[in-house]
Structure 1
């Protein structure tokens, strides 16, 4: 509950810190001042420790809106639904079933088979995107504004927008052998950023402008781009056009408005949160897909060239936004349709298509052409019923099964060399194999005899040989632990670690936590939308020894000297940043980027050295990567910093082996204080066995005889903590 201060308790003569009033305080002020008239506004301000302007705002909200509660500011995004949440909700509503302990697999089967829920990639959507007000604005735009102003998307519209490109753009998935990871090696994490301005019409791409990002696109740059398009239209004596764009601030800049005012053309702003009403978004998606397929996007010149080349591959159909859809029936559905036709032979083929839509829950009627084709094959359908997969929609056999092994060997060889493989590369390789086997060139064959390699065929080949498109991540393929230099450095590390016991060999590393980002997948029945990813982050420093008996409190680096949430949740946050009796973090201010610095790292090591000195003069060795912030000039009496070989942390650093990541991914979308609490909670949940397995995975201590993982609980470091867990429980209630 927020702190309530009074004038009698204010002995310093200064007004105490003003908390945001809770709904309880707001209700008391409204009842005693506005409804009962028992006290004045100034008396209410003194009694409840609020500023007079705050009291006036509360009373204004009551008189104008009849609102007693605080107004929600923005609100939190809807979190992705998890199995734990579903199970907990079911157990709360049906307490009798909780004793039966419903398994996760049983819940999964029920959701998939009975109610049609599937796991999909989440898509963030702004909260106001589908409100009644926004939908009404879209309706008025389409039904009223477009006809009233004579706007036709096909004849007199130019669609304008901006898009961003990055030199490190890669395809989200790549093919690799089953059980192995697809990896893409980038020269650096930071790459060249580009911003493009593009304009299209119903008839194709009108203009594209590419520029380096330096502060973002401004109203002046946008004005120059639009002016160039206007001049092209005027040179061809074109009729006045409407420039359709979203309502970004640069589109409504005074210079842009003045430009349209002095021309024959007009500005047409889309309703808010309605980018899908602009067809250019489809073109940007096509352009980014084309750019991702281009290899070696290094440097601004190459990226600009690829972007320009992609504009020539955007077709008129892409600008029109036309999408072909194909409706096919499974073998089971075709058999049911033929049976129904036998019993109702009087129905026309169009009526059979309508029946199929209702019977099978299809999105549209089955076309008359498809019905005719199915009925022409009804004898074959009845004859083959029950043989094979009845859910398949095609019964075509494999024409060249002997060549599947060639594709498998090609993909394996590319993966072994650390090179990504896409569908186009596999098709080119397959075409060469077929040409060499049959001793002819594909382009010299008659068109009716040429072999076509469709996407459907390629998907089935991948399924037969056991490969699929996978995300490429990590840097393992760029590390060669067999090189002479790395072997020599590892030998030196072994010599330095030899005198130390296992419990005194430790590893320290930093990682970034984006605590407001939502996961990319959720459980839903239909595709879900999303919004921009938040870039608010912490840098978290982690220290543990190799047997898991020592886990130091997390070092949390933030941009703010004191997060604003600490004023609302001061009960969970004080100068030592203790959050409960067992949840402790060491918060440090690191402006402006929240990154580890040499100064902060030096203070942390100095503090650790003192604590180990008083712990029976304990001598420890700490493995760290060779980042510049870790290279301290001072030598410490009880701590020896040992640096891992350059660019080998992905394979040799224990804290990069995944134990911490598994637990930290459980928490998302919260404020700074909540984030620190759950980070500490996640670190407490990492078991000694997990830590020891991470060290064993790297193999950096293979020269020592490592004991079996300990089974007892982790021994937390002893700190003077002023708070206890009862306060944490009160906070969550």
Structure 2
């Protein structure tokens, strides 16, 4: 109903009430002349007012229906207007069910060996399993003599087998700070496990490690015994080489001198390991001081080399030159 016409209806009601009150008052005071002259006039006025109101209401409803019909004609199919962004796709589409190889074997056994119908096998094996799915499994078994799902194919063949991928993972687990370039070099130079892999790219190795849940993480430093037999032997050999260089005094024309500092406990800060496990390497229990080495070379080779703890200053350089 058009709300703008409500005052008309209320005015019509008030007019009828006024007529009734005047009629009662005229009866009470015996005003027969007022009843005879005014009452028909009021009835006529009320009739015209009510007719005008209802005709207006009828025309308003017709105009509204016409406008709605015109709007539907402009829409495709006369339906509801399209939502912004176009029609929604894949609404109500059934998700594809992945059937495991064990369930496939049970379905084949029920239908082929036990004589169940496809619908009965679908109800017995798995809830909400469609008969068409069972039919597809049985058809594949009868035509291709195959129960297991077909492996995803297409594109390039696999570079590494499952055993080779596990060997790469073990390589990372054995040494958490290994680089991808070192893994690549080990695979390409291997004549045993990776003999059939002439080359492999770094992104392939990265995807392989991610597939086996090997991620990049901060390296956790684990101290080990610093003065074991192997470390003492390496330290002794290093000092022996330095002493031999100091003892080698040769005459030369041009001498090139340079100084460099390093620390024996320097390690990588990031490595790889399985998700949920720390990436660890063995490091000394104490970092120790920095070592600076000043060396002199000539056209004949290394002339002299002198390591000191800390950094080189003027006094150390003078001693080295002497």
TM-score, normalised via structure 2 length = 0.27
**Structure richer in helix, relative to its length:** 2
TM-score, normalised via structure 1 length = 0.13
Larger Rg: 2
